[in-house]
Amino acid sequence: MSFPFSIVIPTYNEAAGIGKLLHALNAVFAQNGLDGEIIVVDDNSPDGTGDVVEQLARELPVRCLHRSGKLGLSSAVIDGWKVARPESVALGAMDADFSHDVNALPKMVAALQTQEYGLAVGSRYVAGGGIANWPARRIITSKVACWLARPLTSVRDVTSGYFLVRRDALDGVELDPIGFKIGLEVIAKARYGRAVEVPYVFTDRVAGQSKLNEREIFNYIKQLTRLYGQWLSPRAKERKA
């Protein structure tokens, strides 16, 4: 039974590694009989990432959406979803730097295909998952970020940027993320019913530079504050009634 899906990969200066990732995804699609579409959303990368993707589009199931400048990861994912093929039942996202294990994708697709789950999250923080080649400071920052969001959801890896969600779970949902945590926005807002976390081992990027900085940490706190406000407001109204 076919289960078409589209996965968006935001890029900015990822020319050194994007080809390897796209070939790896195509191999996973072929080996597992997956009906996957890849949409690379490139923010006018000075290193020619978009041109690399256009060349590969001649042989791989990938399209490139070119944007005028560096407009942000979360908005790139949303823009990519807007141009996804109509037949895709699920929409997803993953990083361009090969930190997300492509071999977890078939299990994520299979989970949604059962219709038991509406969201599949690639998770570092469930049994079988983990992190490789990260300094202790980054690991602590990540775990604290997940802990701060714990009241919002039972998903343990709430900061994961690797996920698939049923398209209809996003119907009528206003996504307004700040910074690059689009996964948090989807986990907190989408109407997906049950979620499953598929373990994988996160590996630090093999090419390019990390996009994490103090500004993005600030944006995460700002985004989290906004989500808590939205989460609490209905309860506040009930208490006042």
In angstroms, how far is the first alpha carbon of the chain from the final one? Answer: 49
Whether the CB-CB separation of 153 and 188 falls below 8 Å is answered with yes
Strands 130-132 and 195-199: unpaired
pLDDT of residue 186: 95
Could you list the mean pLDDT of each consecutive 10-residue stretch along the chain, which spans 241 residues?
92 96 98 97 97 97 96 92 98 95 97 96 96 87 90 92 97 82 92 97 67 72 86 52 36
Domain boundaries, the chain: 5-240
pLDDT, residue 104, reads 97
DSSP assignment of 16-30, as one string?
HHHHHHHHHHHHHHH
Q: Measuring CA to CA, how many Å separate 235 from each of 149, 186, 229, 232?
A: 18, 21, 10, 5
With beta carbons less than 8 A apart as the criterion, state whether 200 and 164 touch. no
Predicted local distance difference test score (pLDDT) of residue 238: 41
C-alpha distance from residue 157 to each of 5, 82, 115, 181, 207 (Å):
22, 25, 21, 12, 24
Query: DSSP letter at 184?
Result: H
Token match 């294990």: residue?
A: 101
Asked if residues 93 and 67 have their Cβ atoms less than 8 Å apart, the reply is no
How many other CB atoms are found less than 10 A from the CB of residue 85? 11
Beta carbons within 8 Å of 91's beta carbon, 6+ residues apart = 5, 6, 7, 8, 81, 84, 164, 165, 167, 170
Domain 5-240 class, CATH top level: alpha beta
The pLDDT of residue 208 is 47
